[in-house]
Amino acid sequence: MISTQNLTKRFGPLVALDNLTLEIGPGEIFGFIGPNGAGKSTTMKVLACLLKQDSGEAFVCGKNTKKDADAIRRLVGYMPDFLGVYDDLTVDEYLQFFAAAFSVPRSRRRAVIDQVLELTDLTEKKQAMVDSLSRGMQQRLGVARVLIHEPQVLLLDEPASGLDPRARIEMRSLLIELRKMGKSLMVSSHILSELAEMCTSIGIVERGKLLYAGSIADAYAKVRSAALDVGGDGDPANASLRERIVVVLHRSSAPADAIAASLRGDSRIAAVSVESSTTLTVDLRISETDGHAFATDLLLAGGARIHSLAPAEIKLEDAFLKLTTGALH
């Protein structure tokens, strides 16, 4: 659905995209992650045929952005991070304007507009002035606008930017519904927890370079494997963290503080933190299988009665921090 090969874009001495190569399949919600200035918006503008790359190739639905720009613009719905709206128009007038701009036949405009208003839950706001809408409603109007010409691919740059928690949940539900309708979505966001809950795959970009592209599960696996590195001298005491486990104690167990004290000092344990009177987080320096058995034995020896013991959950924020350097342009 979307493909780029060695995509490069410069603005004077600034390299905004540096040989960026990625693939997004049909029916995906692809989360595009990166710090400010990483190249996310530039990538979307090239794919939307609003910018021309300096070198490399980009394809949308098999069409080349250099040769088939007009065709691609009819296949793509692009929503920038700051959506310009016409404040002196009603919601209906605003959508009528864009329906005409995209040459939606006059005979079909009413039906198409009513459909996107219903999909974005704005039917009751049809006659409201655009500048009277809340931020969340304006963002939903932006999505309605990009759906007017029935595109196959949606490029949404920070669609949840500035929204309150309820509006973010509504936006997430809308994007999931659009995927169910057969749309392919590329979504950039700084709200990583939102992406983790709806994306089928992600890409992490920094300084114009693609650092990772694939499933969220594979990103988590990559973070786990990166934690398996052992110190150069091969001494387990100098090994990096191999596994982090969360231990929940039974209420009849010895207190978490006492259990933590019994664990500290063993060279196979990197750190122990007390989360509550019944919960510990233990960083191990040995493999997961051996580590769980070892930790269980050590906990029991220290007077613990274990309610549960499991690997600590890795979040998308953890993967992002591990796979990026924090470098800015």
pLDDT tens, the chain, 329 aa long? 899 999 999 999 999 999 999 999 999 999 998 888 899 999 999 999 999 999 999 999 999 999 999 999 999 999 998 766 677 899 999 999 999 999 999 999 999 999 999 999 999 999 999 989 998 899 999 999 999 999 999 999 999 888 888 888 899 999 999 999 999 999 998 778 778 888 999 998 999 999 889 888 787 776 666 554 444 334 444 445 567 788 899 888 888 998 888 888 788 888 888 988 899 888 887 655 566 777 788 888 888 888 888 877 767 776 677 767 655 44
DSSP assigned state of 231: P
Topology given in CATH for the domain delimited by 223-316: Alpha-Beta Plaits (3.30.70)
Tokens 């890409």 identify what position? 203
Tokens 């539900």 identify what position? 173
CA 321, 324, 327, 329 torsion: positive or negative? negative
The listed CATH number (3.40.50.300, 3.90.870.10, 2.60.40.10, 3.40.50.800) that belongs to domain 2-214: 3.40.50.300
Question: Which of 328, 322, 141 is CA-nearest to residue 228?
Answer: 322
pTM attached to this predicted model: 0.75
List the chain domain ranges.
Answer: 2-214, 223-316
d(CA 141, CA 124) in angstroms, rounded, equals 12
Over the range 124-151, which residues count as b (16 or more CB within 10 Å of their CB) and which as e? ebeeeebeebeebbbbbbbbbbbbbbeb
